[in-house]
Chains A and B, each alone.
Chain A
Amino acid sequence: QVQLQESGPGLVKPSQTLSLTCTVSGASIRSGGYFWSWIRQHPVKGLEWIGYIHYSGSTYYNPSLKSLVTISVDTSENQFSLRLSSVTAADTAVYYCARMDWNYYFFDSWGQGTLVTVSS
């Protein structure tokens, strides 16, 4: 059974870069049929998809965040990572990594989530 676990700082200063890593266990990131995604949940705005990556390195980002987001993959470590630059208080949210089925585009496995607060 696949498991995902987010890790990274829980506090980031405004204008700095948020960096999170998702470690996948129980399945290989190289297994076919999936994209590896980042999603965040704001207390008020709800769930927002950030972007996804295929193990080959191809990416697709939310157009509203595209200029600020980079997602990368490390197949040797079975991990993928998120970088969100120039953060503001509006980026305070619970960040989830999730596995996305590439045929039906649903998220079938999620990490437990990690709260990132943007504050000086």
Chain B
Amino acid sequence: DTEVTQTPKHLVMGMTNKKSLKCEQHMGHRAMYWYKQKAKKPPELMFVYSYEKLSINESVPSRFSPECPNSSLLNLHLHALQPEDSALYLCASSQDVGQGFTEAFFGQGTRLTVV
């Protein structure tokens, strides 16, 4: 199994809603990532979770909150989002970090629309 599975594939939410994006991998990878991709732009890193430690891109607002219940699962909780947060959210995993990084495996993404 070389898949990273993201659910849901599409999500429409209001600015007062609370929702969660789910990401799962069963490859035994030690690191998981959330990237945000605006239309016609490259992905930008939001969070890295590896070795039970969370690293945050300091530019990410607090209305995005990652959670790692176990080593195979990485959720992204969304609260009080703004229309400019509408984007494709990509989850990825890698076997290791640092010298052990070889490649990142990506999920199909969640297309988020904030209305």
Q: Does chain A bind chain B?
A: no
Q: Which residues of A contact B (CB under 8 A)?
A: none
Q: Which residues of B contact A (CB under 8 A)?
A: none
